[in-house]
Amino acid sequence: MIRLMTRAEIEEFFARLQKIEPNPKTELEYKNPYTLLVAVALSAQATDKSVNKATAPLFKTIDSPQKMLALGEERLADAIKTIGLYRGKAKNVIAAAKILIDKHGGQVPKDRYSLEELPGVGRKTANVVLNVAFGEPTIAVDTHIFRVSNRTGLAPGKDVLAVELSLEKRVPEKYLSHAHHWLILHGRYTCVARKPFCPTCVVRDLCHFPDKTKELPPEKPRLKTPKPKASSSKP
Ligand code: SF4
């Protein structure tokens, strides 16, 4: 069983991620809470890049539930057909637009219960919207956050809910608002699934993963973040 990070290690872990990226943002493109909700719902089992590619032209004209409803399911499906599971997603987005108009005055609700009532919106999507659009300190556990939390000993858990609840308890309050993005970026660009880039990882000495890689893999590291300065990372 992986050793849990101590409070001091967790504090240092986030301090370093914060130093690299003081103001982390979602990589999904959006114009307002509604387009964020749609983008996050479309991103299930799809990359942010593929979603952005489809939504860039769509969101130029469609940025409200009313306009989405007027567009209709068929034309929406056609606009997002490069995204996996697009037919089901188009159906859900149209059904959600109707509910937003009928029950919420065309606005995206700010509470989890109402968000999760929308078709195609689960706990993860609701958490992203609450965090990104409304500044709530929620953590939406995706595949990257699940992996990083378990590997490092930050907040191990058998399933995404266990990891989410553990993160909420263990992440210092001052880091909670941005923790979600720091962990996603770290998992996406450094602590990647197959061969993590441990030799250049800024939290290497804090991480309890027993199988850290000793050398960089032959493929070029996809580090988005700058390499740590000697002073910012202990050996
Ligand atoms: S040292 Fe390796 S396993 Fe640990 S967080 Fe960094 S990249 Fe991930």
Select from 210, 199, 211, 208 the least CA-distant residue to 235.
Answer: 199
Q: Give the position of tokens 């103001």.
A: 23
Percent residues over pLDDT 90 in the chain: 89
Q: What is the pLDDT of residues 45-65, one digit of tens each?
A: 899 999 999 999 999 999 999
Ligand 1 mean position, distance from CA 16 (Å):
13
Average confidence (pLDDT) over 144-150: 97
Residue nearest to atom 8 of ligand 1 (CA): 191
Output the pTM of the full model: 0.85
Domain locations in the chain as residue ranges:
7-24+139-232, 33-132
Asked whether residue 234 carries a pLDDT value surpassing 50, the answer given is no
Residue nearest to atom 4 of ligand 1 (CA): 207
Catalytic residues: 124, 142
Decide if 205 contacts 8 (C-beta within 8 A).
no
Asked whether residue 229 carries a pLDDT value surpassing 60, the answer given is no
Question: What number does the ligand 1 atom closest to the CA of 196 have?
Answer: 7
Per-residue confidence (pLDDT) for residue 220, from 0 to 100: 56
Q: At what angle do helices 173-189 and 123-132 cross, to 10 degrees?
A: 120
Percent residues over pLDDT 70 in the chain: 92
Q: Where are the beta strands (DSSP E) in the chain?
A: none
Ligand 1 mean position, distance from CA 27 (Å):
22
Decide if 150 contacts 183 (C-beta within 8 A).
no
Torsion over CA: 226, 231, 234, 235 (sign): positive
Q: What is the pLDDT of residues 77-92, one digit of tens each?
A: 999 999 999 999 999 9
Asked whether residue 109 carries a pLDDT value surpassing 60, the answer given is yes
Residue nearest to atom 1 of ligand 1 (CA): 204
What CATH number should be reported for the domain whose range is 33-132? Answer: 1.10.340.30
What CATH number should be reported for the domain whose range is 7-24+139-232? Answer: 1.10.1670.10
User: For ligand 1, which residues put their CB under 6 angstroms from it?
Assistant: 151-152, 190-191, 196-198, 201, 203-204, 207, 209, 212
Q: What is the pLDDT of residues 171-227, one digit of tens each?
A: 999 999 999 999 999 999 999 999 999 999 999 999 999 999 998 766 655 545 544
- With residue 104 as reference, give the H or E element that holds it: helix 86-104
Per-residue confidence (pLDDT) for residue 129, from 0 to 100: 97
pLDDT, averaged across the chain:
92
